[in-house]
Amino acid sequence: MEFRAKRGDFLATLYWTQGVVERRNTMPILANVLIEASKSDVRLTATDLEVGVRGRLDAEVSGEGTITVNAKKLYEIVREAPEETLQLKRLENDWLEVKSGKSVFKIVGMEAREFPQFPKFEKEQLSTVPANLLREMIEQTIFSVSVDETRYSLNGVFVEEAGSGKIRMVATDGHRLALIEREIGSLNLDKGVILPRKGLAEVRKLLEGGGDGVVSMGFKENMGLIVKDDVELFMRLIEGDFPDYTKVIPKDNTQVVRIEKDELLHALRRVSILSSERYKGIKMELKQGQLSISASNPDLGEAVEEIDMDYQGKSLVVGFNARYLLDVLAVLETGGEVEISFKDALSPSLLKKGGDDGYLYVVMPMRL
């Protein structure tokens, strides 16, 4: 195997492998990137068996072949290479030689035969999806995914068809729930699937700065695939049943507050400075025409901020983990109002973005 490639192209393609390769080293080959040189292009693949990525780049191939080498070290070498042209050549005993200008690197590699296979998808199994809507759906749900590995079915985002060409994404960790619905066309799903958080984090990275383009997306058995330009990303779906989220969405919250999103976000940030580091507890007190946000910590002190607003309901005091409110306010588009509806101090509250019927966020109160 031997080929020449532009440093910039090689580095850009290699970049996608960095977040995917296995860090824990349970299988040494999973820390490697698979390099496949064929007639006119080179493909780079990395996987941790749960998430995988494959990118292609143009190259002058003088000898076809395959090899795997450490993904992190290869990335560092290519990033620091002095010239714009790289020459890569496979040597005996699975070593890889990288030349750039007067620099020569020889890296220990492993035979490609042991590298896991990339799943095959037919073109008919893929649907076209607007990149900006998919990115918005991921950003506005992924922060609610549970990090508790004992609750395996909550470690991802639930995706299902909602009819009329709409797709719904739901994530919850038991303390809060984010739900978004957007018209992006059918994904040919017979039933809902759970996409792992790591896979979606890589998809979000892939879609950053993508503008108004489209991506291809499809599902087969226990795999999901997303293709954007020359990069393919697959992920193993989480097995198990996602809980019935419709039961936790409040239907009878009658105390409604409308407030400028940015004003609430900044007030919460200021007040939560003096809340406890671990629980971030803050108190929201609703009064006629006013919302009072306060935090009290015997070790640090106390903070209070009052916001004038149009509220004519009865007085109510509710405790929250400030982080749960800050997380959702940070991912909603800047500007505009949010609507928060309450029932009482012990029932879940419902937050919606003004003018957006396709998004809701449920947050459990906290005893203070």
Q: Which pLDDT does position 16 carry in this prediction?
A: 95
Q: Mean pLDDT of residues grouped by 10 in the chain (368 residues)? A: 97 96 85 95 96 96 97 97 97 97 97 92 89 96 95 96 94 97 93 96 89 89 94 96 96 94 96 91 94 94 94 93 97 91 96 94 94
pLDDT score at 136: 95
CATH 3.10.150.10 fits domain 249-363: yes
The pLDDT of residue 210 is 67
Architecture of domain 126-246: Roll (3.10)
Q: What is the pLDDT of residue 312?
A: 85
249-363 shares the fold of 126-246 = yes
CA distance 345 to 366: 8
CA distance 179 to 243: 13
Q: What one-letter code names the amino acid at 96? A: L
Q: Cα dihedral angle (77, 83, 89, 90), rounded to 10 degrees?
A: -10
Q: State the pLDDT at residue 306.
A: 97
Q: Is the dihedral of CA 115, 119, 122, 128 positive or negative?
A: negative
pLDDT (0 to 100) of residue 80: 97
pLDDT of residue 344: 95
- At 35, the amino acid letter reads I
Rounded to whole angstroms, the Cα distance separating 90 from 9 reads 20
**Amino acid at residue number 191:** K
User: What does the pLDDT read at residue 335?
Assistant: 84
| 149-156 CB contacts, 8 Å cutoff, 24+ apart | 152/238, 152/239, 152/240, 153/194, 153/238, 153/240, 153/241, 153/242, 153/243, 154/242, 154/243, 155/194, 155/196, 155/197, 155/238, 156/194, 156/195, 156/196, 156/197, 156/199, 156/200, 156/237, 156/238
* CA–CA separation, 262 and 139 (whole Å): 18
Angle 197-207/131-139 helices, nearest 10 degrees? 140
Please give the Cα distance from 128 to 186 (Å, whole number). Answer: 9
CATH architecture, domain 2-114: Roll (3.10)
E strand map for 149-289: 156-163, 166-172, 176-183, 193-196, 214-220, 223-228, 231-236, 255-260, 281-287
Domain boundaries, the chain: 2-114, 126-246, 249-363
